């Protein structure tokens, strides 16, 4: 590729600019580890050596925000284990964010068992510590939402439990995931919230209010599944792609891929918006990072903003 925005040499993740996660500064293009192992519906797991190479290449290209979870695993692969094998000892500027709350079945299937109770969060935090080989976690996101049973307790109880673990020195910062504006406000009434991680993208616009609210309070907004799924159901819970013609036109103007345009649009939503595209493929990794250097014009942004999300 040769354009004014992206050259034949993959730009650094620093080209996307920076934002804060708690007291740490990270480049706005990060890396999501969910796909490192392969997905449960794939025919076979990702090649282990390739996954490790992807992680190392991401850091070489300036990625210093890596999102993971102990429940990112297949029967023969674990994202946390791949991260610790490929990157430990971690660079001083590398921030690793993880998630707690859901309980995955041991077979590696996608379904979650009932969520952890507040008193069970310490065990989940300690499991992440062991797998990543660290004494404390930079950022722990409480994954909330669908699947919660009343027996699991309230969001306030869970956030309070994480604040106790922070006071015990097991983690530095707390975030929330899969929440609405009211739940974020509830969490902010208990502790300082460093990040909100929700499903959001060009064709998944239900959280526009949260983007504005987090920006108002200087909280990092970290969307997942922001590229969407080309085929309905290909990514359970992911957005279906619409606006293909609009995205394709913008992509052609910059000689980039439609996925890169979607990532760039997400970053244009606010300087506090971070991206964590995930992949187990080196070529896709470099395309994702290059998207952070893509600058869309006002006319292009208006054209993309007008794309109607799927019903």
Based on the structure, what is the number of domains in the chain? Answer: 1
2 domain-assigned: no
* Each residue's pLDDT expressed in tens, for the chain with a length of 311 residues: 434 444 447 789 999 999 999 999 999 999 999 999 988 778 788 899 999 999 999 999 999 999 999 999 998 899 999 999 999 999 999 999 999 999 887 665 666 667 899 999 999 999 999 999 999 999 999 999 765 666 677 999 999 999 999 999 999 999 999 999 999 999 999 999 999 999 999 998 999 999 999 999 999 999 998 886 544 444 555 555 678 999 999 999 999 999 999 999 999 999 999 999 999 999 999 999 999 999 999 999 999 999 987 76
85 domain-assigned: yes
Over residues 221-240, the pLDDT tens digits come to 999 988 865 444 445 555 55
Longest dimension (CA), the chain: 56
The CA distance from 97 to 13, in Å, is 17
258 domain-assigned: yes
Residues marked as catalytic: 72
Give me the count of residues in the chain: 311
Q: Compute the CA torsion angle 12, 18, 212, 214 (nearest 10 deg).
A: 120
144 domain-assigned: yes
- The helix (H) or strand (E) run that includes residue 247 is helix 244-254
- The answer to whether 43 touches 29, Cβ cutoff 8 Å, is no
95 domain-assigned: yes
pLDDT of 108? 59
4 domain-assigned: no
- The answer to whether 179 touches 146, Cβ cutoff 8 Å, is no
Return the ∠ at Cα 223 (arms to 60 and 169), rounded to 5°: 70
Q: Give the count of beta carbons closer than 10 Å to the beta carbon of residue 244.
A: 12
pLDDT of 71? 93
pLDDT of 52? 98
pLDDT of 145? 76
On the 0-12 / 13-18 / 19+ scale of CB atoms within 10 A, 112 is middle
Q: Which domain holds residue 241?
A: 13-305
3 domain-assigned: no
172 domain-assigned: yes
The CA distance from 52 to 271, in Å, is 30
pTM strictly above 0.85: yes
pLDDT of 110? 62
pLDDT of 309? 78
- Residue 24 sits in a domain of what CATH number? 3.20.20.100
């Amino acid at each position: 590729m040769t354009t004014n925005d992206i050259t034949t040499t993959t730009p650094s993740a620093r080209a996307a600019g920076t934002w804060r996660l708690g007291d740490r500064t990270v480049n706005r293009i990060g890396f999501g580890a969910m796909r490192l192992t392969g997905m449960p519906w794939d025919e076979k797991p990702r090649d282990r050596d390739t996954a490790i190479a992807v992680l190392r290449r991401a850091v070489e290209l300036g990625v210093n925000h890596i999102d993971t979870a102990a429940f990112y695993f297949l029967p023969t692969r674990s994202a946390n284990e791949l991260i610790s094998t490929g990157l430990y000892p971690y660079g001083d500027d590398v921030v690793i964010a993880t998630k707690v709350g859901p309980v995955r079945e041991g077979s590696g299937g996608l379904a979650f068992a009932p969520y952890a109770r507040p008193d069970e969060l310490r065990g989940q935090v300690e499991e992440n510590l062991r797998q990543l080989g660290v004494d404390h976690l930079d950022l722990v996101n409480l994954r909330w939402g669908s699947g919660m049973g009343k027996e699991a307790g309230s969001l306030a109880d869970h956030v309070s439990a994480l604040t106790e673990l922070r006071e015990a020195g097991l983690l530095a910062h707390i975030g929330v995931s899969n929440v609405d504006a009211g739940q974020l406000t509830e969490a902010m009434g208990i502790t300082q919230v460093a990040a909100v991680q929700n499903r959001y993208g060009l064709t998944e616009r239900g959280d526009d209010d949260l983007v504005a609210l987090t920006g108002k309070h200087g909280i990092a907004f970290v969307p997942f599944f922001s590229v969407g799924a080309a085929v309905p159901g290909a990514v359970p819970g992911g957005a279906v792609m619409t606006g293909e013609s609009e995205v394709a036109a913008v992509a052609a103007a910059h000689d980039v891929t439609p996925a890169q345009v979607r990532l760039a649009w997400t970053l244009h939503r606010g300087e506090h918006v971070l991206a964590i595209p995930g992949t187990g493929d080196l070529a896709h990794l470099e395309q994702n990072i290059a998207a952070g250097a893509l600058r869309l014009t006002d006319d292009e942004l208006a054209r993309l903003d007008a794309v109607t999300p799927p019903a």
